[in-house]
């Protein structure tokens, strides 16, 4: 199974096959507009600007499962992202990434990757504190821990890397460059 086996909904509700992205390097990310990590939209757009012509696509999936930090309609979210961050990469319909309501794409992503840790920085310490209260076993599952978890997909549709939200965008950029 590869990423190309999945269908998702665009922000206007149309179902599309991810096979439309065959041969591209994909960065799949669950996002939120009212999160401490929301400024990562700027880094994502910069990455898109730099590498889109070389074959990078960033696929943005808003998700309201973490602290209800992605309120509003798909149109509201799109307007915020384009207005504030100049986002040009594809944004899809709001989804769930964990639990019974998780879309099949995210079920596959989380079943085939492991949590990579939050690092030693201040944000990592904060995330560990928050998650240990919610789920003391959080480190031992592949579930999405928070907004802005990223999955890098190679040109054959396979998962190449997983990045937790606390990973510096420079590290993401280096892995993208390697795959391109």
- pLDDT tens, residue order, the chain (180 aa): 999 999 999 999 999 999 999 999 999 999 999 898 889 999 999 999 999 999 999 999 999 999 888 889 999 999 999 999 999 999 999 999 999 999 999 999 999 999 999 999 999 999 999 999 989 999 999 999 999 999 999 999 999 999 999 999 999 999 999 999
Domain extent for 132? 3-179
The predicted structure's pLDDT at residue 153? 98
- The burial of 124, by beta-carbon neighbours within 10 Å (0-12 exposed, 13-18 middle, 19 or more buried), is given as middle
| 81 catalytic per annotation | no
The predicted structure's pLDDT at residue 37? 87
- What's the structural domain count of the chain? 1
Domain CATH code at residue 157: 3.40.30.10
Marked catalytic residue, from 35, 63, 81, 114: 35
C-beta neighbour count of 71 within 10 angstroms:
13
Tell me which residue of 109, 136, 104, 84 sits closest to 29, measured CA to CA: 109
Q: Using CA of residue 57, residue 62, residue 173, residue 171, what is the dihedral sign?
A: negative
User: In this structure, what token pair is assigned to residue 70?
Assistant: 């992605």
The model carries a pTM of 0.96
Do 10 and 1 contact (CB within 8 A), yes or no? no
Per-residue pLDDT of 14-63, as tens digits, reads 999 999 999 999 999 999 998 988 899 999 999 999 999 999 999 999 99
Do 128 and 166 contact (CB within 8 A), yes or no? no
**Three-class DSSP category at 59:** strand
Integer angstrom CA distances of residue 137 from 58, 67, 125, 140, 142: 30, 19, 16, 6, 11
What's the first-to-final CA gap in the chain, in angstroms? Answer: 22
């Amino acid at each position: 199974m590869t990423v190309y086996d999945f269908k998702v909904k665009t922000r206007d509700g149309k179902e599309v096959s991810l096979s439309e992205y065959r041969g591209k390097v994909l960065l799949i990310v669950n996002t939120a507009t009212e999160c401490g990590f929301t400024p990562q939209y700027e880094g994502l757009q910069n990455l898109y600007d730099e590498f889109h012509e070389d074959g990078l696509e960033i696929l943005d999936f808003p998700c309201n499962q973490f602290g209800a930090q992605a309120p509003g309609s798909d149109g509201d979210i799109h307007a915020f992202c384009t207005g504030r961050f100049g986002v040009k990469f594809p944004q899809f319909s709001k989804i769930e990434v964990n639990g019974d309501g998780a879309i099949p794409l995210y079920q596959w992503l989380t079943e085939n990757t492991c949590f990579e840790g939050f690092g030693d920085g201040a944000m990592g310490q904060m995330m560990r504190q928050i998650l240990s209260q919610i789920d003391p076993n959080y480190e031992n599952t592949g579930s999405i821990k928070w907004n802005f978890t990223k999955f890098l997909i190679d040109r054959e549709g396979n998962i190449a890397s997983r990045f937790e939200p606390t990973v510096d965008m420079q590290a993401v950029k280096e892995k993208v460059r390697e795959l391109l």
